[in-house]
């Protein structure tokens, strides 16, 4: 992402897996089963099925990222939270289902040992006590565990996940 300063970049490597048959004459969903590593060490899996020619018609995908080093996300945390990330790891389990443009999604986020670093000047950063929020969200093991269900009509221009995110964080 070159729009950030510093720019964000990462690699998903050691990819292996399969994407099922793609046939424009047949409306059967294609199966997906892909495995790889983020930055050479953090496992990622993508599995499920989708209509490759119309994913808003049919999609059922599960994605999992394990032990992703949070420091690589510092360009985003600096821009939107106003702080660098000193250390921590991200585990992300996502399950997205779409049936005729109706989204049903489960987002499970586990931040292990998140420690914020120095403050960053950013006009886009939220005007909230971020360090206090992080401290309040941590459990007794120092982890932040967030489960964020999302549902809605993807064709509705009023649909947005931000009200759901704010409600969950409250």
pTM above 0.85, yes or no: no
Minimal CA–CA distance to 29: which of 19, 37, 39? 19
Instruction: Give the DSSP letter of residue 125.
Output: S
With 80 as the cut, is the pLDDT of residue 164 above it?
Answer: no
| pLDDT more than 90, % of the chain | 56
Q: What integer best gives the mean pLDDT of the chain?
A: 89
Instruction: Name 127's Cβ contacts closer than 8 Å, sequence gap at least 6.
Output: none
Q: Between vectors from CA 67 to CA 170 and to CA 55, what angle results, nearest 5°?
A: 70
Instruction: Name 108's Cβ contacts closer than 8 Å, sequence gap at least 6.
Output: 92, 93, 94, 145, 146, 147, 148
How do beta strands 143-153 and 12-19 pair? unpaired
Helical residues (DSSP H) of 41-147, grouped into ranges: 74-80, 130-137
What pLDDT, on a 0 to 100 scale, did the predictor assign at position 40?
84
pLDDT digits (tens, 9 = 90+) for 42-89: 999 999 999 888 888 889 999 999 999 999 998 889 999 999 999 999
């Amino acid at each position: 992402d070159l729009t950030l300063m510093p720019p964000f970049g990462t690699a998903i490597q050691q990819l292996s897996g399969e994407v099922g048959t793609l046939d424009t004459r047949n409306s059967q969903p294609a199966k997906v089963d892909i495995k790889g590593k983020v930055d050479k060490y953090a496992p990622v899996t993508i599995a499920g099925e989708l209509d490759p020619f119309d994913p808003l018609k049919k999609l059922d995908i599960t994605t999992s990222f394990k032990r992703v080093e949070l420091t690589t996300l510092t360009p985003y945390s600096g821009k939107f939270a106003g702080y660098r990330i000193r250390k921590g790891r991200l585990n992300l389990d996502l399950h997205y289902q779409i049936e005729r443009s109706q989204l049903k999604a489960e987002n499970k986020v586990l931040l292990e040992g998140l420690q914020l670093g120095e403050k960053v000047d950013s006009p886009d950063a939220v005007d909230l006590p971020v360090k206090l929020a992080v401290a309040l969200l941590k459990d007794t093991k120092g982890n932040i565990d967030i489960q964020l269900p999302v549902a809605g009509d993807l064709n509705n221009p009023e649909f947005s996940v931000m009200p759901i995110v704010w409600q969950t964080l409250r």
